[in-house]
Amino acid sequence: MKSLKGYFSTVAGILSLCLALLLHANLALSQSSSVTIFGPKKYDIPNRKSVTYTDAFQAVSSTVVYTLWVQSGAEGLDEAKNVSVSINGVEIIDSRDLRTANPVSKTISIQSTNTLTVTLKGQGGSYIILRVLCEGCYPSAAGTISPQGGTVTLEGYATVTFPAGAFATSQNVTVSATSSPETQEDFNVTAEGPRLPYEIRINSGYVAPTTSFDVILNVPDSFIVSIPSGYEIQVFVQIHEQLSAPEIYDHFHRFSSVFDSTAKILRTTLPKKAFTNLRQIEDTYEAIVIVGTALK
């Protein structure tokens, strides 16, 4: 009898472990990341006539999965009844898709540069909201910065250079592109205009730099052509103030920068206070940089 109890106890333990592993795997799958590389953008119908919009966007990588996401109206209101969304001349989503599911999303094949065409017809005031999402678009690059200084480049996104003396000993630094809803919410508090759909994170582990540092940010063509009249490209950095300081103590500041329209890059020098370890559970030091816009 004791051996049978032991047997069933062992089997129960194995089943519990398998269930835990399965749940962990499912959780990992459900938390797969996606970046909005275009949008969210609202397209509305100003009157009962047919209207067509044309936009452009660029691919981030050739080895990831892209999804077109469209929502018509909100909570059953202001839905556009006649919708056609095409990419590079191929219709991807139409009214029938939105009658089946709203919002609707479809996996798409895209080119390095893409033309998006939206045609709407129906009641004035109705609209759709559109995004192009990229699954697995969380690229990162790591490098070791010696006491003599050094550079880490995230190809296509940013280059970060630390001068001599920034770190007393060799330090691993990671530069990554992410799209955090929390960061977007923080940015919206002080936002003046459109921004890139991702932010650049610079993580220096458990040691913060002791000097200012230089950052070069790549600016995609699709963002440049989408900037409203009267706005200019600027660098925004999230600064964590002391809790006893202003009411909003973790907010974005605009920093002086120079935009090279030929090379399509933005250059800036940022202070050491751009780094903080108060946002990370593991207490690592991180700086968050966003390419946005502001009124001239």
Read off the pLDDT of residues 48-65 as tens digits, 9 standing for 90 and up. 778 999 998 888 777 789
Reduced to 3 states (helix: H, G, I; strand: E, B; else coil), residue 64 is coil
Verify that 240 and 123 share a domain, yes or no: no
In the predicted structure, residue 267 carries a pLDDT above the cut 70: yes
Whether residue 1 is contained in a domain is answered as no
Sequence-distant (6+) residues with CB within 8 A of 24 are none
* Average of per-residue pLDDT across 23-40: 50
Reduced to 3 states (helix: H, G, I; strand: E, B; else coil), residue 281 is coil
**What pLDDT band is residue 167 in, cutting at 50, 70 and 90?**
very high
CATH at 289:
2.60.220
In the predicted structure, residue 88 carries a pLDDT above the cut 80: yes
Give the torsion sign (CA, 248, 252, 253, 254).
negative
Q: Which of 135, 165, 182 is the last residue of a domain?
A: 135
Q: Which two tokens stand for residue 261?
A: 């329209």
Reduced to 3 states (helix: H, G, I; strand: E, B; else coil), residue 72 is strand
Query: pLDDT tens digits for 211-231?
Result: 999 999 999 988 898 898 999
Whether residue 158 is contained in a domain is answered as yes
Q: Which of 111, 135, 159 is the last residue of a domain?
A: 135
Counted domains in the chain: 2
Verify that 208 and 262 share a domain, yes or no: yes
Verify that 106 and 207 share a domain, yes or no: no
Whether residue 6 is contained in a domain is answered as no
Q: Which two tokens stand for residue 245?
A: 């300081």
**Residues present in the chain in total:** 296
Whether residue 8 is contained in a domain is answered as no
Concatenate the DSSP letters of all residues of 123-190 into one string.
Answer: STT-EEEEEEEEET---EEEEEEBTTBEEEEETTTEEEEE-TTS-SS-EEEEEEEE--HHHHHHHHHH
Verify that 148 and 126 share a domain, yes or no: no
Whether residue 233 is contained in a domain is answered as yes
Whether residue 25 is contained in a domain is answered as no
Q: For tokens 């933005």, what's the residue? A: 266
In the predicted structure, residue 23 carries a pLDDT above the cut 50: no
Residue 61 lies in domain: 34-135
The pTM of the full predicted model, rounded to 2 decimals, is 0.60
